[in-house]
Amino acid sequence: MRLLTFTLLLAVCTQSFGQEHRYQNLVDSAIGRHHALFVHSKPLTELKLELLESRYYTEFLQDRSIQGLDTVLFLQILRNSKTLDTAIWTDRELPYSLLVNNRNEYISKSYALKKLGIQDKKKAKYYKKQINRFNSTETRDKIIYYYSRPVFDNSKTFAIIQWDNGHSWLGGGGSIVLYHLHGEVWKEVGIIGSWNY
């Protein structure tokens, strides 16, 4: 009986670790795509997805990718986006980015270097320069990336993530990116919509 209990517990832990690993891989792929150093801790709470625009998304993706957007898949993602996870991002989830809570926040260099694990003097100098630039930039001009948490289709093999970096009232832009799971790795399929400010 103990062996059966242990085996079941091990199977649950392994499956849970695999799902967590795949989720982290997806988040890393999305944020790494922009090399986003400064990310707002509050994820986007609304996606720019509309059922009436599904044809536009399909055409947009086909223009920029070899893969189309399956209607059933899109409807599943659209339905699942209505219950979007809006939990605050954590340092653990975004290990290569510095979390910002508001636009006028001052970023501590010691926090940044410690979090990013920077030991090399040349890299430390580079990151200190980036942080100085961020801290001295006018509040409305700071480039901060905002990301939604992933929204999956029902099979959890496709997902979208929306990003935005609007600033200076008319600067920046964003897009909605579609990803597909290949084994343990999430690969970008393409952009289904984008905008500029």
Cross-strand partners of 167: 171
Alpha-carbon dihedral angle through residues 75, 76, 80, 82, given to the nearest 10 degrees: 10
Tell me the pLDDT tens digit for each residue of 35-59: 999 999 999 999 998 888 888 888 8
One-character DSSP codes across 31-82: HHTTT-SEEESSPPSS----GGGHHHHHHHHHHHSS----HHHHHHHHHHGG
Give the pLDDT confidence score for residue 120 in this predicted structure: 93
The predicted model gives 17-35 an average pLDDT of: 87
pLDDT-wise least confident of 28-37, 63-72, 125-134? 63-72
Ordered by start, the domain boundaries in the chain are 2-34+48-86+146-196
Q: CA nearest 65: which of 157, 175, 147?
A: 175
Tell me the pLDDT tens digit for each residue of 59-70: 888 887 777 778
Q: Which range has highest mean pLDDT (7-11, 39-43, 181-185)?
A: 39-43
